[in-house]
Amino acid sequence: MLKDLVWPDEGAPEAADAAPAPEAPPVDVLRAAFGRYATGVTLVTCLDSRHQPCGLTVNSFSSLSLEPPLVLWSLRLRSTQLEAFSAAPHFAVNVLRQEHLALSSQFASRPAEERFALGQWRSGLGGAPVLTDAVASFECGLRGWHDEGDHRLFIGQVRRASQSEGQPLLYHRGAYRQLSVDT
């Protein structure tokens, strides 16, 4: 288990030296530190029980496993879309390109029923909307979800994946960024 791991060089801390662990960093410190981790930007989508498209801007997306192919992302428990994503058997993850900045803002701030007015969409697995010019897309079956803290973690099994050329949209320190160099 991770909590039992002790680095060989350091050994266990002496009880007398050990400062009491603080309860938690202040939220603004935590937010600023989390924000130093640069991410891509995705739109995660599904169909709700009335067959209406749902979606929001998400940067908590991550690859989880190759065999089997799994992805994960997390949704605020207070999201208006919690019920829809928890019940939908499929969802799609659309990785945005740098030309999609307006689309990202739209899906992060506009009312849910207005979001799909922008962008070219096709119906993916289970009807989940797939952005036709995404830099990559993953059509997933919902494997399960798990609540931790103030978010619900969704795990999906990738059934279809596609990718195309182009520069991804990035998010860092609360602002959209672009790749400036190739490595």
The Cα 147–Cα 177 span in angstroms is: 30
Choices 11-19, 106-114, 125-133, 140-148; region in contact with ligand FMN by CB under 6 A: 106-114
Contact between 76 and ligand FMN per CB under 6 A: yes
Q: Which two tokens stand for residue 22?
A: 């603080």
171 near ligand FMN, rule: CB under 6 A: yes
Cβ burial of 101 (10 Å; 0-12, 13-18, 19+) is middle
Cβ 78 to ligand FMN, closest distance in Å? 7
Instruction: Give the binding range for ligand FMN (CB under 6 A) out of 13-21, 70-78, 124-132, 137-145.
Output: 70-78
- Of 59 and 158, nearer to ligand FMN (C-beta) is 59
Task: Report if residue 101 touches ligand FMN, rule: CB under 6 A.
Answer: no
Q: Restricting to residues 34-53, name those near ligand FMN by CB under 6 A.
A: 41
Neighbours of 30 (CB within 10 A): 11
Nearer to ligand FMN, 12 or 49 (CB): 49
Toward ligand FMN, which CB reaches closer, 104 or 127? 104
User: 56-87 as b/e, with b when 16 or more CB fall inside 10 Å?
Assistant: bbbbebeebeeeeebbbbbbeeeeebbebbee
* Spatial separation of the C-alpha atoms in residues 85 and 90, rounded to whole Å: 8
Touching ligand FMN, residues 81-100 (CB under 6 A): 81
Strand partners, 145: 154
Contacting residues toward ligand FMN, per CB under 6 A: 41, 56-60, 73-76, 79-81, 107-108, 112, 171
